[in-house]
Structure 1
Amino acid sequence: MRIGAHVDSTDPLAEAAAREADAVQFFLSDPQGWKAPAPREDAERLRDAETEIYVHAPYVINVATLNNRIRIPSRKLLLSHATAAATVGAKGLIVHGGHVNAGDDLAVGFDNWRKTFAYAAESGGFAVPVLIENTAGGDNACARRLDALARLWDAVGEFEVGFCLDTCHAHAGGEELLGLVDRVKAITGRIDLVHANNSKGAFGSGQDRHDNLGGGTIDPELVVAVIRAAGAPVIVETPGGATGQAADIAFLREQLGTERPAA
């Protein structure tokens, strides 16, 4: 099982080595900005690396919204990030499920997701798998609670779309981790990546505040159980830099009885 971390984008492979990680996730541009990714000088090195690569799309992307000034640029930015992610050999592009504004019809948000994939299909589709991630907060979110996730998958299931399960987001969003993998797979049929994070916020708090696996409000054994049931690669997005994340990775390997794959 591949276990890695979200790292700084300057030299992801060096960051992986510092954590003894065999997978990394990073941004290709400012996560709070609208600029398309610039070509990377290390693209070939990343493609050829034994380390698995994942790219996280900017947080500003919200393809569900009814606001044209956000939705249309979001579609374009998501497509450009998928194209750029392919140049570094990424296994997937993670994007948050998005939301509509208060008073807007959530059904339109789900249909906007469908239109996003239809829009991409017009130019040959996304260059890498898009993995929609569950989110922690918001009463008008498309992927916070499982009932909304089911409606989202009804809209996008005809396309080749993946799912990223974040344990902090699920807990803070009000979904019990016990048995969660089975409930998610009953909707999506798949889990492509697990974001293994503890939560500073309480159950159902809606707070997207990650903690190291040994801290927070989630029993670490529940996070391990989710990973074991999902059988997917794992990325920790926990605090503490290389030291904190290396400890979390080592904890997971010990609990799961796995070793780092040979280079």
Structure 2
Amino acid sequence: MLIGAHVDFEDPLAEAAARNADVVQFFLADPQGWKAPEARPDAAVLRDSAVQIFIHAPYVINLASTNNRIRIPSRKLLGQHAAAAATVGASGLIVHGGHVNKGEDVATGIENWRKALQQARDNGGLPVQVLIENTAGGDNACARRFDELARLWDAVGDFGVGFCLDTCHAHAGGEELLDIVDRVKGITGRIDLVHANGSRDGFDSGRDRHDNLTVKNSEPGMIDPELVAAVVRAAGAPAVVETPGGAQGQSADIAYLRAHQ
């Protein structure tokens, strides 16, 4: 079982070593910005490393948006990050499921997802697999509630996309963790990566605030770390902690997951 962490992009392999991580995830550019990623001088070293690499796309990407000034740049930025992710040997590019605005039909956002992937296919395809990630909040999200996720997958599943399951997002989004792997696989047929995160907020809060697994939270409604470990075991996919505390906090979370596999 490959277990690792989301780390700073400056020197991902050093960060992996500091955490005893088998896998790392990082950004290639400002996660809140629209700039294309720059070429990395360590690309060959990253490609040749034994550490498995995943790239997280910027948060600003919203392929579901009905706003042309967001949707069209999102498609462009997706292609740029996919190309850059390929140069570092990434196993996948994680992209949030996106949303439409209040009062708009989520079906429109789902169709926009399909159009984005069709456009990419028509232009020769993306060089790395897109992993759609479930999200924590919003009543107009395409991948918060699993009934919407099922509609999204019906539209995009044939484009070869994968799925990234975030335990904090599921918990905050109102989806129980107890049987979640079976429910996700029943929809998507796959889980390609787990974001193994605790939550600082209660069930169905809609709030995306990650917490460590090694801090046992006695407040009602918080995630039991043993449930997160069970999700990782059942998923049979690489797992990444996106938890606070830097190398020390994440190392403890990684060790916890390994001890419970």
Where 1:131 maps in the other structure, the secondary structure is: strand
Where 1:53 maps in the other structure, the secondary structure is: strand
Give the drift of 1:158.
1.3
TM superposition score normalised by structure 1: 0.96
Q: Conserved in 1, the CA contact under 8 Å of 2:214 and 2:252?
A: no
Aligned counterparts, 1:1-263, within 5 A:
1-215=1-215, 216=217, 217-256=222-261
The one-letter amino acid paired with 2:140 is: N
* C-alpha distance in structure 2 between counterparts of 1:105 and 1:136, whole Å: 19
Give the drift of 1:122.
1.6
The one-letter amino acid paired with 2:53 is: I
Cα deviation digits, residues 74-97 of structure 1 (max 9, x gap) = 011011100100000000000100
Percent identity between matched residues is: 74
Cα deviation digits, residues 134-190 of structure 1 (max 9, x gap) = 000000000001000000001101110000000000000000000100000000000
Cα RMSD (Å) of the superposition? 0.6
Cα deviation digits, residues 213-233 of structure 1 (max 9, x gap) = 123510111101111110000
* C-alpha distance in structure 2 between counterparts of 1:229 and 1:254, whole Å: 15
Cα deviation digits, residues 183-217 of structure 1 (max 9, x gap) = 00000000000000000010000000000012351
Q: Unaligned 5+ residue runs, structure 2?
A: none
Where 2:61 maps in the other structure, the secondary structure is: coil
Where 1:157 maps in the other structure, the secondary structure is: helix
The one-letter amino acid paired with 1:199 is: S
Q: Unaligned 5+ residue runs, structure 1?
A: 257-263
Cα deviation digits, residues 56-82 of structure 1 (max 9, x gap) = 000000010100000000011011100
Q: Conserved in 1, the CA contact under 8 Å of 2:201 and 2:207?
A: yes
Give the drift of 1:127.
0.6
TM superposition score normalised by structure 2: 0.97
Give the drift of 1:16.
0.2
